[in-house]
Amino acid sequence: MTDLTAHQTATPLGPFTVLVAEDVVYAAGFTDSVEQLARLADAEPGLVAVSDDDHSALAAVRKYFEGDLSAIDEVVTKERPGFAPFRTAARQALRKIPAGTTATYTQLATSAGNPRAIRAAGSACATNPTALFVPCHRVVRTDGTLGGFLYGLDIKQALLDHEAKCA
């Protein structure tokens, strides 16, 4: 495993933390828990360095909250090795959902190459280690309800509202 460093910034929705190696994000989310993100990145929490320095991924997050929704699109993320090909395809498909719109889990499964893999699409969202940059918050149930989100439905709704307002 690559040596990871945690960086954090404040957002309107609370703290946002990234675990990075150079310019690549291995885990990210609306938490100040390095341990939680280390588990998502399959890293040993005690080996993650913590830095007070800024990071380009955090600058993108701040721009996103200032209304530049595309700022997060260029942030490079890294999947843990060994994930099933469908999960990787689903996460790539997530990055193609435009800000200000949503897709259903069924649509995500289809765009990832397997229309019948609806549960697997949900699992790809539920285990997404790089929230916001891989925008699993843009996926909803077929009936339009939110479904789940690791950082809480209030944050998911706030992200969707922010994108609808700024798109």
User: Which residues are tagged catalytic?
Assistant: 136
Determine the distance from the C-alpha atom of residue 94 to the mean position of all C-alpha atoms in its chain, rounded to a whole number: 9
Task: Name the 3-class secondary structure at 27.
Answer: strand
Q: Closest Cα to residue 25, out of 71, 69, 63, 74? A: 74
Other C-beta atoms within 10 Å of 166: how many?
14
* CA end-to-end distance (rounded Å), the chain: 37
Whole-angstrom Cα distance, residue 121 to residue 138?
13
DSSP β-bridge partners for residue 103: 139
Report CA-CA distances (Å) from 59 to 7, 36, 79.
Answer: 11, 22, 21
130 DSSP assignment: B
